[in-house]
Structure 1
Amino acid sequence: MNSLQLERRRGLERLPRVQRERLSHIDFKLYFLGELRRADVVERFETGPAGATRDIALYRDIAPENLELDPGTKTYRPAADFTPLFEHQPQRVLTALSKGFGEGIGDQLQPMVRCEFPNALSLPRMSVLAPITRAIHRGKAVRLGYTSIESGKTERELVPLALVDTGIRWHVRAFDRKSQQFRDFVFTRMESPTLLEDSPVAREETVEHDVQWSRIIELELVPHPKHPRPEVVKLDYDMPGGVLTVKVRAATAGYMLRRWNVDCSPDHSLVGPEYALWLADPLALYGASSAALAPGYRDPRPDGTHRIVKAL
């Protein structure tokens, strides 16, 4: 970042947040869609035409070289020397482009450009999700019915701690008062959760005492030794040095490695085009409760015992 960009960023930080949001939207439209109309600001923020005109004028004052007006269509377009004023995070940008901003009550998600992505086959019901997120936010326990592969349908008291997206489904990390353990519970197997207002949460039931959640594992992923084009893998994963280092929680490491199709066998024995990456040191997963979910993982203990991941 050069000195001019740094000065502009500092100037933006002094503006009210709502105004920064409007300027960021202008920046987004120019950068990723290549055009901006006054109506875009009016519709997005439900502001009047005069207010939108002032926002665009302020943007032009800050970065006059970023946009130029097409008088025929009254559309602003990014100039040849356009440099974004804001740092746009890739995940948020891709979500906006593929699903829209989703503003408004009951609005259907509409992509901003043509795109295709897999439909989610398993989503929590809102009547189940809401009590769980309230419990996480307020530090409360819930009572619910839960159907598991191992025990069938039972009644449980859980202390929900966090939501987890495995890429295939959502689950909640929680303390289970029945087993007296921290475990993973799938949303779609829950029924009628009720917030327990008068059931105090003990210290040993809180997230600070979930060792698997608190433990951070550093993983070094490298191009799979059997991949025919390791240079392509380095490009795909932005790893010019040949190593991609990621940090994950012990409680979720197995889920993430499965989602990324990382071969975690000690002898990189998994074969297939889906295995572009290999975990250079599978022992990094030692002791992680979710390790058994990692593709090809072999428990180094002689008896091969490991803690079963109860969300399966």
Structure 2
Amino acid sequence: MNTSAIVRDQVLSALPQAQRERLAYIDFRLYFLGELRRADVADRFGTGPAAATRDIAQYRDIASENLELDNSDKAYRPTEEFVPLFDHAPQRVLTALSSGFGEGIGEELGSMVRCEFPIELTTPQMSTLAPITRAIHRGKALRTTYTSIESGCTEREIVPIALVNNGSRWHVRAYDRRRNGFRDFVLTRVETPVLLENSPILEKEKVDQDVQWNRIIELELVPHPRHPRHEVVMMDYGMPDGVLRVKVRAANAGYLLRRWTIDCSPDHRLEGIEFALWLRDPLSLYGASSAHLAPGYVDPKSDAKITSITAM
């Protein structure tokens, strides 16, 4: 990092959080949309035109070479020498571009550029989600009705510890008092959850007791030996050295491997262009309760039985 960059970082770190957020938004619009107007800042943060002018002036004081005024339409444009002041996390950038920047009410926010999503076939009810997230945040138990394939409709007491999106649906990781263990509950199958304010949480029900949740596995993924274009796979997954290393919770490893259609067979026997990646060491999944979800996975112990992690 050069001296000017160090000075910039020192100046930015000394500013109040609210000021940094406004400067980050200016940086974002210049970088990803290629234009900035005073009204953009004023509308986003609910400030007046004079305050927006001061924010832009402060950005120019810190990085004058990053923007120039286009007098034809009174908009600032990024210069050819533009270097972003902030590290913009890819996931947040894509979320902002596709769903709007910041928090909004109802349907006010729209995409910042034309964007298309896969159709969501299943989403949880907000009246179900809210008690669950309150329970996670406050460390409380819930009483709920849950419908599973195995047991049908039953009443459960659960202690939620986290929400998980497996790529196709949401579930809640929770301690199940009925089965005395941690399980995954599909949110769309949860009905009428009620917070149990006066139900004490036992030590065994706390998140630090969930071995599968706390165990982190490192997976080494490589281009599938049967794939016709290894160089394309390496480009798609950003793996210049030919290996993609991913760290994932044991409780969620099977979900990830299934979502991305990764061949986990010991002899990479699965065929089809959809199998772009192969798990180089299938033994890395050993002991993970979600391993049975991984395409092609074979339990190295022939007599081992892997218990389903979904509350069936």
The TM tier, using the shorter chain, reads over 0.9
Is this contact kept in 2: 1:164–1:173, CA < 8 A?
yes
| Residue 172 (structure 2) aligns with | 172
| Residue 188 (structure 2) aligns with | 188
| Residue 278 (structure 1) aligns with | 278
Partner amino acid for 1:255? Answer: Y
| Residue 241 (structure 2) aligns with | 241
Moved more, 229-238 or 124-133: 229-238
Q: Once the 2 structures are TM-superposed, how far is the Cα of residue 97 of structure 1 from its aligned partner?
A: 0.7
Partner amino acid for 1:291? Answer: A
TM-score, normalisation: structure 1: 0.98
| Residue 130 (structure 1) aligns with | 130
Any idea what the Cα deviations from partners look like across 1:216-274, whole Å, max 9, x if unmatched? 10110001001111111111111111111111000000001111211111111111111
Q: Once the 2 structures are TM-superposed, how far is the Cα of residue 143 of structure 1 from its aligned partner?
A: 0.0
Map 1:34-45; keep pairs closer than 5 Å: 34-45=34-45
- Is 1:203 aligned to residue 164 of structure 2? no
Is this contact kept in 2: 1:123–1:170, CA < 8 A?
yes
- Is 1:220 aligned to residue 220 of structure 2? yes
Partner amino acid for 1:206? Answer: K
Separation in structure 1 between the aligned mates of residue 153 and residue 174 of structure 2, nearest angstrom: 18
| Residue 85 (structure 2) aligns with | 85
Any idea what the Cα deviations from partners look like across 1:27-55, whole Å, max 9, x if unmatched? 00000000000000011001000000000
Q: Once the 2 structures are TM-superposed, how far is the Cα of residue 105 of structure 1 from its aligned partner?
A: 2.0
SS of corresponding position for 2:76: strand
SS of corresponding position for 2:288: coil
Separation in structure 2 between the aligned mates of residue 211 and residue 6 of structure 1, nearest angstrom: 42
Partner amino acid for 1:241? Answer: D
Moved more, 108-117 or 212-221: 108-117
Q: Once the 2 structures are TM-superposed, how far is the Cα of residue 72 of structure 1 from its aligned partner?
A: 2.2
What is the alpha-carbon root mean square deviation over aligned residues?
1.1
Map 1:42-57; keep pairs closer than 5 Å: 42-57=42-57
Q: Once the 2 structures are TM-superposed, how far is the Cα of residue 311 of structure 1 from its aligned partner?
A: 4.3
Map 1:114-125; keep pairs closer than 5 Å: 114-125=114-125
* Segments of 4+ moved more than 4 angstroms: none
Identical positions, percent: 69
Separation in structure 2 between the aligned mates of residue 98 and residue 10 of structure 1, nearest angstrom: 32
| Residue 143 (structure 2) aligns with | 143
| Residue 152 (structure 1) aligns with | 152
In structure 1, the gaps of 5 or more residues are none
Q: Once the 2 structures are TM-superposed, how far is the Cα of residue 303 of structure 1 from its aligned partner?
A: 2.2
Q: 1:87 to 1:121 in 2, by over 3 A?
A: same
Separation in structure 1 between the aligned mates of residue 311 and residue 221 of structure 2, nearest angstrom: 26
Map 1:84-103; keep pairs closer than 5 Å: 84-101=84-101, 103=103
SS of corresponding position for 2:188: helix
| Residue 232 (structure 2) aligns with | 232
Separation in structure 2 between the aligned mates of residue 168 and residue 12 of structure 1, nearest angstrom: 39
| Residue 107 (structure 1) aligns with | 107
SS of corresponding position for 1:262: coil
Is this contact kept in 2: 1:102–1:108, CA < 8 A?
no
Q: Once the 2 structures are TM-superposed, how far is the Cα of residue 102 of structure 1 from its aligned partner?
A: 5.4
| Residue 2 (structure 1) aligns with | 2
Separation in structure 2 between the aligned mates of residue 76 and residue 271 of structure 1, nearest angstrom: 52
Q: Once the 2 structures are TM-superposed, how far is the Cα of residue 307 of structure 1 from its aligned partner?
A: 1.1
Q: Once the 2 structures are TM-superposed, how far is the Cα of residue 304 of structure 1 from its aligned partner?
A: 4.5
Separation in structure 2 between the aligned mates of residue 146 and residue 74 of structure 1, nearest angstrom: 58
In structure 2, the gaps of 5 or more residues are none
Separation in structure 2 between the aligned mates of residue 260 and residue 10 of structure 1, nearest angstrom: 41
Separation in structure 2 between the aligned mates of residue 107 and residue 20 of structure 1, nearest angstrom: 27
| Residue 73 (structure 1) aligns with | 73
| Residue 292 (structure 1) aligns with | 292
Is this contact kept in 2: 1:9–1:86, CA < 8 A?
no
Separation in structure 2 between the aligned mates of residue 15 and residue 143 of structure 1, nearest angstrom: 46
- Is 1:60 aligned to residue 60 of structure 2? yes
